[in-house]
Amino acid sequence: MKSTVNEIRAVEAAHLQFDVARWREDFPILKQTVHGKPLIYLDNAATSQKPASVIDCENRYYATLNANVHRGIHSLSQRATDAFEAAREKVRAFINAADTKEIVFTRGTTEAINLVAQSYGRSRFKAGDEILVTEMEHHSNIVPWQLLCEQTGARLRVAPIDDAGVLRMDKLEALVNPRTRLVAIAHVSNALGTVNPVRGIIELAHAVGAPVLVDGAQAAPHLKVDVSALDCDFYTFSGHKLYGPTGIGVLYGKFALLDAMPPYQGGGDMISRVTFEKTSYNALPFKFEAGTPNIAGTIGLAAAIDYVEAIGLDAIAAHENDLLDYATRRADELSGLTLIGTARDKASILSFTLEGIHPHEIGTILDHRGIAIRTGHHCAMPVMDHFGVPATARASFALYNTRNEVDALIEGVREVQALFGQ
Amino acid sequence: MSDLRDLYQEVILDHYRKPRNFRSLADANRKAEGFNPLCGDRLTLYVKLKDGVIADATFEGSGCAISTASASLLTESIKGKTEHEAEMLFQSFRDVVTGSGETPNTDLGKLDVLAGVREFPVRVKCATLAWHTLRAALASQKEPVSTE
């Protein structure tokens, strides 16, 4: 019986290897060399590479479809508008939102969070109100709230993490109180890989009437997001980490919340009527989309979602989890290596330090082997402070990475240690 | 891999493992802090200036091999120099590690081991952090130096 299971696993693994080899063919950039070595791209948490279908889609837009959206009466403008709004529907279905009116296009996750802070928060919060975040947030889910606190007198509260990089739910629960006006949490930590139990946090917050913003920048490429099942109030993610273009992101917000919020930026497209005496605003979602949007990027994002859905997030997650398990096992073989972030529920991120060796040396030496990783504080300085390190080295995986690439990473780290005489 | 060895020369690794003048200086009359937000390197540089001459220089902090070795070598190379001579040395050093300018007139001495940095543009800031901090110390600058 056991051997049968192993045989099935071996067959599955072989199939997966075959699939990954095929997926790699979709990414033109992976064919290049760096310092004479084949590129091994392990900086996917910063930004992922783009499949040819996304690149071609943006090209095709400019070659055949380029016109401004929503206003033109001519055919080209109509076609561009159709493609743009079809992308909105694609995003709605991708995260299972109830209505396309709840999908606002932004420049990225950062802008989406700032939009909520400045539009939702600034018009409502006052001294004594509390905004709750966690210790593992990216700076983009800390600083917008700090700015808001300065503007309104509200107070930022921080739920701590433990030494495995897991959110202390007991502490978070104690911090949720009737003064809590908003909870902002990462779905997946970019520095640690920890997957947060967002559903439970949302229930806790809703019990005191606080809405929840989920920063999904690291989650959207790795796990199926269902905003209806989560019952989150806001969800944000970026196109460029999801195999899509840079400069396009998404803010999902519940209709009633978005509808009651004042505009974030003023300009064209977000108005219904302008006079010098009074201006009335456009309906959702256009109220929040001032100016000509990133049309090519939006349509490119739809192509990226098509790409991801054709493979399937389940298949992607299975492959990435296998890689992360394998990489974690291989990393454990190395003495002097410490993993930063050892939560049981993790996605795609291997963050580590080497004893006596600064992460930047790791980055420089691996780069000479064609291996791209991230070294630094990963825009999560409070996480670095928690672990008492100035920086970590971070390898992050995407659907096109392989076990061979993990082996190359480990070999590279061995070379770093050898060079430093360890 | 020869170019990696150009960067990580034995002298550099030695100064990284055993930084010289790595302590605070009780009778320092100049002091400044340097910070590289890119990698989190931090150092505090102490200088004892007497009659326009650098009588002593020490540093504390944490950083990568390049920034630590550079700070260590700096403290050794500026002792006994006038403020002006230290400034000239800084300029020559910067020209060498950025690969800009002509061959410097000033003899870099053992600072030359850091010349390999020029092949690694993202690491130039690691090598120059201590020097920018020295400048701030000599100018009695209050704000910490940032490489960004």
Cβ atoms of A274 and A265 closer than 8 Å: no
Task: Please report which confidence band the pLDDT of residue B109 belongs to, taking 50, 70 and 90 as the band edges.
Answer: confident
Report the pLDDT value the prediction gives residue A71, as an integer from 0 to 100.
80
Instruction: Please state which CATH number belongs to domain A12-41+312-419.
Output: 3.90.1150.10
Distance CA A299, CA B117 (A): 43
Which residues in chain A have their CB less than 8 angstroms from residue B62's CB?
390
CA A36 to chain B, closest CA, distance in angstroms equals 11
Report the pLDDT value the prediction gives residue B41, as an integer from 0 to 100.
87
**Could you report the predicted ipTM of this complex, rounded to two decimals?**
0.87
Looking at chain A, the domain(s) classified CATH 3.90.1150.10 span 12-41+312-419
Residue B106 pLDDT greater than 90, yes or no: no
Residue A162: closest CA among A196, A132, A190? A196
Report the pLDDT value the prediction gives residue A13, as an integer from 0 to 100.
65
Q: Check CB contact under 8 Å for A376 and B38.
A: yes
Distance CA A401, CA A349 (A): 12
Helix (H, G, I), strand (E, B) or coil at B42: strand
Domain ranges of chain B: 2-146
Cβ atoms of A243 and A54 closer than 8 Å: yes
Q: Please tell me which residue in A57, A149, A232, A379 is annotated as part of the active site.
A: A379
Residue B7: closest CA among B99, B132, B148, B115? B115
Distance CA A143, CA B28 (A): 37
Report the pLDDT value the prediction gives residue A69, as an integer from 0 to 100.
94
Scanning A347-376 for CB atoms below 8 A from B yields 357-361, 364-365, 368, 375-376
- Min mean pLDDT across A183-192, B121-130, B137-146 is at B137-146
Q: Check CB contact under 8 Å for B42 and A364.
A: no
If you count DSSP H runs as helices and E runs as strands, how many of each does chain B have, helices first? 5, 4
Which residues in chain A have their CB less than 8 angstroms from residue B7's CB?
364
* pLDDT < 50 stretches in chain A: none
Cβ atoms of B112 and B97 closer than 8 Å: no
Q: What is the largest CA-CA distance in chain B?
A: 47
Looking at chain A, the domain(s) classified CATH 3.40.640.10 span 54-310
CA distances (Å), A126 to each of A129, A133, A151, A153, A411, in order?
Answer: 6, 17, 9, 6, 54
Residue A290 φ/ψ, nearest 5 degrees: -70, 140
Q: Pick one of 3.40.640.10, 3.30.2130.30, 3.40.190.100, 3.20.20.70 as the CATH number of A54-310.
A: 3.40.640.10
CA B83 to chain A, closest CA, distance in angstroms equals 32
Distance CA A410, CA A331 (A): 7
pLDDT tens, position by position, A133-147: 999 999 999 999 999
- Indicate the average pLDDT of chain B: 90
pLDDT tens, position by position, B17-54: 999 999 999 999 999 999 988 777 899 999 999 999 99
Written as six digits, the tokens of A68 are 């401004």
Distance CA A33, CA A246 (A): 23
What class has domain B2-146?
Answer: alpha beta
Helix (H) or strand (E) holding A217: none
Report the pLDDT value the prediction gives residue A421, as an integer from 0 to 100.
84
Report the pLDDT value the prediction gives residue B36, as an integer from 0 to 100.
87
Active site residue A57: no
Q: Give the number of other Cβ atoms within 10 Å of residue B121's Cβ.
A: 11
Mutate to test the interface with B, among A340, A361, A368 (most CBs of B within 10 A): A361
Which residues in chain A have their CB less than 8 angstroms from residue B40's CB?
376-377, 384, 390-391
The length of chain A in residues reads 422
Angle CA B145–B147–B148, to nearest 5: 115
Mutate to test the interface with A, among B2, B36, B39 (most CBs of A within 10 A): B39
Give the CA count within 13 Å in the CB-facing half-sphere of B110.
16
CA B38 to chain A, closest CA, distance in angstroms equals 6
If you write DSSP's letter for every residue of A185-209 in order, what string do you get? EESB-TTT-BBP-HHHHHHHHHHTT
pTM value is 0.93
If you write DSSP's letter for every residue of B4-40 in order, what string do you get? HHHHS-HHHHHHHHS-TTBS--TT-SEEEEEEETTTT
CB under 8 Å to A309, separation ≥6 — which residues?
A94
Q: Minimal Cα distance from A369: which residue of B?
A: B1
Residue B1 pLDDT greater than 80, yes or no: no
Mutate to test the interface with A, among B64, B66, B125, B126 (most CBs of A within 10 A): B64
